[in-house]
Amino acid sequence: MDKMALSKKVMRVQPSATLAMAAKTKAMLAKGADVINLSLGEPDFTTPTAIESAAIDAIRSGKTSFYTPAGGLPELKQAIAQRVAADTGVKYQAKQIIATTGAKFALYLIFQVILNAGDEVLLPAPFWVSYAEQVKLAGGRPLLVHPTGENGKVTVADLEMVRTPQTQALVINSPQNPTGAIYTASELTALGHWAASHDILLIADEIYSHLVYNGNQFTSVIQLDQTIRDNTLLVSGLSKTYAMTGWRLGYVLGNAGIIQAMTTVASHATGNPTAVSQYAAIAALNGDQSAAEAMRLSFEQRLNYLFPKIQSLSGFELPTKPQGAFYLFPNVKRAVVRCGYTTTEDFVTDLLTQAYVAVVPGRAFGQPDYIRISYAASETQLAEAYQRMAEFLRTKGNPD
Ligand SMILES: Cc1ncc(COP(=O)(O)O)c(C=O)c1O
């Protein structure tokens, strides 16, 4: 298609850097290259058998052949409400819940329904790649916030520096992709009261809330107090906790008016989330959680294994151990320079094409001097990736 025919809005949007890296890697793998893929934002496990069986049963019993309500089956909304109540003690009604085609589409819908042209959304860096592009697609302006708080977390003072009268929303992602940092209850309370007092909607992306390691504590924004809860949209989904990325099932809980508007937009976009995925999600949320817990434990072991190894790499800086999610986000500026590169992107490209290790450059997350390494891979693969990276740094960093 002629470029002239594309809308200005679409021309401003960047393709997903994580998906682009994944595509490059998959193309190399398809040609038979022995690439270790640490670029992905998804568990390397397959969906637990009980969930798959529930989905197969739903298909066989003929339940999945039909449209469902656009915002999800009533049984699914009930299962979401029950799981959230079990995890947080907070109760939501069906009219405050929407099930969506992944948390990604949930966030897309939120920005579509809350933003007018020129409205701003505060995005503390580093941030998940899709937020900024989704804000732009909704006609809004992403406002990058540079955190000065402990462990790369944003403070009220950081937000206040950037806020303008056009600021409509703030996204807080905890546990965070890509740093793995978790906001404490008191940090969230300060941010939550600040947002409520300025009429700034708090969007709490808690998709990694079940992937918390080594005894660290997670507090959900909705557990703080009523003022903050009333001003919060809680975004989550099944992708990460239950190894269900391919099923595309996310959800949002919060203000009934916003949920209704999101449902209306979804009804004209995807229609309902895929019926079979909804039945799988009901089984996942209502069922025994031990398979999810086993996967969490695996991620914890992998984190404990890989973190000191990445810390030890020459020119990599990673002072704080991640508390959740499944990524490491080291600053690699010194390694990039020492190896003779001018950009992190060039470094990452050669790491892929010469050392056969795929990671993602930090620019897409708002921090160009960093790379994101996913540890959603087996310990054998992580060990091999570490060896390859260490060798790459040795060869490139000491060319003679
Ligand atoms: C922080 C964050 N939010 C949301 C999503 C979207 O997840 P999904 O659309 O698979 O539910 C992801 C996936 O990578 C993520 O990392």
pLDDT digits (tens, 9 = 90+) for 317-356: 999 999 999 999 999 999 999 999 999 999 999 999 999 9
Our answer on whether the CB atom of 205 is closer than 6 Å to any ligand 1 atom is yes
- The CATH number of the domain holding residue 18 is 3.90.1150.10
Q: Within this chain, do residues 304 and 264 fall inside the same structural domain, yes or no?
A: no
Last residue of a domain, one of 252, 286, 320: 286
Q: Among 97, 87, 376, which Cα is nearest to 235's?
A: 97
Cα of 200 from ligand 1 centre, angstroms: 22
Residue 400 pLDDT greater than 70, yes or no: no
> Do 272 and 316 belong together in one domain?
no
Exposed/middle/buried for residue 248 (C-beta within 10 Å: 0-12, 13-18, 19+): buried
- Write down the pLDDT at residue 134: 96
Please tell me whether residues 156 and 8 are part of one structural domain: no
Ligand 1 pocket, 106 CB below 6 A?
no
Task: Determine the average pLDDT of the residues in 34-45.
Answer: 93
Task: Decide whether any atom of ligand 1 lies within 6 Å of the 240 Cβ.
Answer: no
- Which atom in ligand 1 lies closest to the alpha carbon of residue 106? 9
| pLDDT tier for residue 217 given thresholds of 50, 70 and 90 | very high
DSSP state of 302: H
Residues 320 and 252 in one domain: no
Q: In what order do the strands lie in the sheet with 120-124?
A: 97-100, 250-253, 232-237, 201-205, 167-173, 120-124, 141-145
362 lines ligand 1 (CB under 6 A): no
Asked whether residue 222 falls in the same domain as residue 353, the answer is no
Looking at 271, 286, 301, the residue that finishes a domain is 286
Q: Is residue 400 assigned to a domain?
A: no
Ligand 1 close to Cβ of residue 315 (< 6 A): no
Can you give the residue range of the structural domain that contains 72? 49-286
Report the residue count for the chain. Answer: 400
One domain, residues 164 and 93: yes
Instruction: Say yes or no: 152 and 240 in one domain.
Output: yes
User: Is residue 168 predicted with pLDDT exceeding 80?
Assistant: yes
Same domain, 281 and 295: no
Residue 246 belongs to domain with CATH number: 3.40.640.10
Atom of ligand 1 nearest to the CA of 205: 3
Choose the final residue of a domain: 286, 309, 339. 286
Closest CA to 139 of 7, 269, 9, 5: 9
Output the CA 319–ligand 1 centroid distance in Å.
25
Say what the alpha-carbon torsion angle 355, 357, 358, 360 is, to the nearest 10 degrees. Answer: -80
pLDDT value, residue 18: 72
Residue 390 CA to ligand 1 center (angstroms) comes to 30
* Same-domain pairing of 29 and 112: no
> Does residue 225 sit in the same domain as residue 323?
no
Report which ligand 1 atom has the smallest distance to the Cα of 101: 9
The answer to whether residues 140 and 166 touch, using CB atoms and an 8 Å cutoff, is: no
> Ligand 1, residues 205, 207, 235: which to mutate, most atoms within 8 A of Cβ?
207
Confidence at residue 181, expressed as pLDDT on a 0 to 100 scale: 97
List the strands of the sheet with 371-374, edge to edge: 327-328, 371-374, 360-361
Q: Tell me the DSSP string of 315-367.
A: T-B--S---BTTEE--B-HHHHHHTT-SSHHHHHHHHHHHH-EE-EEGGGGT-
Domain count, the chain: 2
The answer to whether residue 208 is domain-embedded is yes
Alpha carbon of 32 to those of 159, 208, 397: distances in Å? 47, 33, 28
pLDDT at residue number 11: 84
Same domain, 79 and 64: yes
